[in-house]
């Protein structure tokens, strides 16, 4: 099987599994403190994945640079990205959290525009960004009665921060892909991300009323460790190493639909016309921004080819 084919299969797996994790997170935080719950999840998953990766491939890069890079990516993707989503879901419905996270590719493109001077905002990207804001506005319209709830607003802010952090971490990881045992590096990211969350937990979590041996909470934790972290995260890192960021982040289109449907069926979360409109607006905005970004890349290639042809022609006339 070709590497690209494997990458696309891995991407489909990520699209489905990560869509279900919002429901599992929501169930988990009903019984456990958010950062403690997420920290245990990622620390266990990271340890298992790193050991399994070393068992299959003895190669490893333990240089200070690589360790530091994996710690940074783990902090951005997991400590802030996953930790804040988990914390936010204490007050934000799982479907709403997933729709906000669907805007992650928007932030990824925006960060690329900010970091690379040669890339500029075009009409399609600008229109897509505005449509994304409309989608977020519709989410607020759907839950207008919760606007006065400070806890709900903090939850929304946490999910937005997580989305930005995940986008930044994905870009850094893509730009610094280490070919030496990438699955071991994924394990390190999970491990560092989880350890940082456990360090943060005593400062932000409330341990009162924790139901330590709750069956639903433990099942949610086990599912998130095995499927959400070990299998899906390793698959995502593989996808990032083989496919462009714009394609690798396509899971963001599917996750909210899966999350909204499961939240409605299992947790009886509200779904109304604003839910549908917000979903359509956010997914359309991501598609528009990615389209505009591709157009920009194509125009840059054409411009470079013209400049190269002109330079070759001038060189030929001089000779």
With pLDDT > 70 as the criterion, what percentage of the chain qualifies?
91
Tell me the HSE value of 169 on the side-chain side, using a 13 A CA sphere. Answer: 27
d(CA 239, CA 20): 19
Quick check: 173 and 237 in contact, CB under 8 A?
Answer: yes
Report pLDDT for 34. 96
The domain ranges of the chain are 3-102+150-270
Rounded to an integer, the average pLDDT of 5-28 is 91
Average pLDDT, the chain: 86
Q: How confident is the model at residue 37 (pLDDT cuts 50, 70, 90)?
A: very high
pLDDT, tens only, 201-213: 999 999 998 888 9
CA dihedral 102, 105, 111, 117 (to 10 degrees): -150
Number of continuous H segments (helices) and E segments (strands) in the chain: 14, 0
Q: How confident is the model at residue 286 (pLDDT cuts 50, 70, 90)?
A: confident
Tell me the HSE value of 246 on the side-chain side, using a 13 A CA sphere. Answer: 14
Map residue 148 onto helix, strand or coil: coil
Chain position carrying tokens 């083989």: 242
Q: Picking from 85-94, 176-185, 208-217, which range would have the lowest pLDDT averaged per residue? A: 176-185
Q: 319 pLDDT exceeds 60?
A: no
């Amino acid at each position: 099987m070709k590497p690209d084919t494997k990458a696309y299969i891995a991407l489909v797996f990520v699209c489905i599994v990560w869509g279900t994790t919002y429901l599992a997170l929501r169930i988990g935080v009903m019984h456990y403190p958010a950062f403690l719950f997420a920290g245990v999840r990622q620390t266990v998953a990271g340890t298992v994945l790193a050991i399994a990766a070393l068992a299959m491939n003895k190669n490893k890069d333990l240089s200070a640079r690589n360790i530091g890079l994996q710690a940074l990516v783990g902090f951005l993707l997991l400590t802030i990205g996953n930790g804040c989503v988990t914390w936010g879901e204490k007050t934000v419905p799982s479907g709403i959290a997933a729709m906000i996270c669907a805007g992650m590719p928007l932030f990824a493109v925006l960060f690329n525009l900010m970091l690379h001077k040669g890339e500029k905002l075009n009409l399609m990207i600008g229109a897509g960004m505005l449509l994304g804001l409309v989608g977020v506005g519709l989410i607020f319209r759907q839950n207008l009665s919760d606007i006065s709830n400070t806890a709900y607003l903090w939850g929304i802010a946490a999910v937005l921060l997580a989305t930005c952090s995940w986008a930044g971490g994905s870009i850094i990881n893509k730009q610094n892909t280490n070919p030496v045992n990438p699955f071991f590096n994924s394990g390190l990211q999970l491990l560092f991300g989880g350890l940082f969350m456990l360090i943060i937990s005593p400062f932000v979590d409330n341990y009162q009323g924790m139901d330590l041996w709750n069956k639903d909470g433990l099942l949610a934790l086990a599912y998130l460790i095995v499927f959400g972290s070990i299998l899906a995260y390793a698959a995502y890192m593989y996808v990032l190493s083989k496919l462009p960021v714009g394609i690798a982040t396509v899971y963001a289109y599917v996750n909210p639909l899966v999350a909204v449907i499961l939240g409605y069926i299992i947790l009886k979360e509200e779904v109304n016309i604003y839910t549908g409109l917000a979903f359509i607006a956010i997914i359309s905005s991501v598609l528009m921004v990615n389209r505009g970004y591709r157009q920009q890349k194509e125009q840059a290639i054409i411009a470079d080819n013209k400049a190269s042809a002109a330079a070759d022609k001038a060189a030929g006339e001089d000779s």
